[in-house]
Structure 1
Amino acid sequence: MDRHYLEDLHAGQRFGSGTMRMDEARIKSFAAEFDPQAFHLDDAAARGTIFGGLAASGWHTAAATMRLLVDGEFRPAGGIVGAGFDELRWPTPVRAGDTLRVECEVLEVRPSKSRPDQGIVKLRTTTLNQHGQPVQISVGNLIVLRRPAQQ
């Protein structure tokens, strides 16, 4: 199935992704532009922080998660269009050399009351490192198109 319409989705469905390796140069480059804090930019400075070493920005982890989602198995009709998050956590820092993957689970599917051509899917997305440790957990609400009526 190329795209998932609202009618194709139900609570309990799970989807996966490929992998992405996080390297030191990209961690520092992202941080330099978007989150220029020492623990994202400098190995020596990062050792003296709560991270104990260089750690990717949570926002870099979120961006990597988005890329893995777009390239992954969960392919909602209309694209991955967010309507907001109920939860977003970074329980474990991402380190240079980590390989990330995404697992998502449909938690709820509901048709829109005001827009008959779409609905909302509540999705838990867990980004894991190569050790199976969660590095990001989010629960988000996505707008998903309904299957067009046959003409």
Structure 2
Amino acid sequence: MNRMTDMAEKRWAFEDFTVGRTIDLPVKHVTAAEIVDFASQFDAQPMHMDEEAGKASILGGLAASGWHTCAMFMRMMCDAFLLDSTSQGAPGVDYVRWKKPVIAGDTLSGTSTVTAARVSAKRPNLGFVTVEHRIFNQKGETVCELANTGMFLLRNPGVAA
């Protein structure tokens, strides 16, 4: 996909994030090597570093750190729409819930559903979009839920209400 530099030509602008819209996230296969690599840098707990320690834990196998799950989700969201959008960042994350462990060999997929959208009162060219995200494993089980508000430039300031 061509990543244009002109914000006005991005595919996803504020107006595209209508309440109720659901965006499918791309599939992500999780490998043991990447779990260990992430954990060795950021969360070196035994269940994230060693298969046997993971099996001995309540997680049941070599498990991705919850923060690794969030990082993988972020990449999935970037590839689905964020990198081809007028995104201006986010003021924060409302919540993150790790529902089930992500185990080496899992294949993740997900959805992002717009729950609210409003134009900024102070900056009429900027909108706030609240999105709830769900990440699933290959069994269809929810492994992570999170919600955040992102900031996006309007394609047509003054037209969107």
TM-score > 0.5 by shorter chain: yes
Alpha-carbon distance between aligned partners in 2 of 1:113 and 1:24, rounded to the nearest angstrom: 47
Change (3 A) 1:101 1:124: same
Matched residue, 2:36: 28
What residue identity is the alignment partner of 2:21? Q
Question: Which deviates more, 68-77 or 122-131?
Answer: 68-77
Alpha-carbon distance between aligned partners in 2 of 1:129 and 1:80, rounded to the nearest angstrom: 30
RMSD: 2.0
Structure 1 counterpart of 2:53, from 38, 45, 54? 45
Q: Does the CA-based 8 Å contact 2:87-2:150 persist in structure 1?
A: no
Matched residue, 1:54: 62
Change (3 A) 1:69 1:46: same
Alpha-carbon distance between aligned partners in 2 of 1:75 and 1:102, rounded to the nearest angstrom: 17
Matched residue, 2:24: 16
Question: Which deviates more, 77-86 or 118-127?
Answer: 77-86
What residue identity is the alignment partner of 2:126? Q
Which runs of 5 or more residues in structure 1 are unaligned?
none
Deviation at 1:2, TM superposition (A): 5.2
Q: Does the CA-based 8 Å contact 1:4-1:75 persist in structure 2?
A: no
Secondary structure of 1:70 counterpart: helix
Deviation at 1:109, TM superposition (A): 0.3
Alpha-carbon distance between aligned partners in 2 of 1:149 and 1:64, rounded to the nearest angstrom: 33
Alpha-carbon distance between aligned partners in 1 of 2:10 and 2:55, rounded to the nearest angstrom: 46
Which whole-Å deviations, capped at 9, do the CAs of 1:111-151 have from their partners, x for residues lacking one?
1111111011000011111111111110101001112459x
Matched residue, 2:123: 115
Which runs of 5 or more residues in structure 2 are unaligned?
1-8
Matched residue, 1:127: 135
| % identical equivalent positions | 35
What residue identity is the alignment partner of 2:142? P
TM-score between both structures, scaled by the size of structure 2 = 0.85
Matched residue, 2:153: 145
Matched residue, 1:84: 92
Secondary structure of 1:36 counterpart: coil
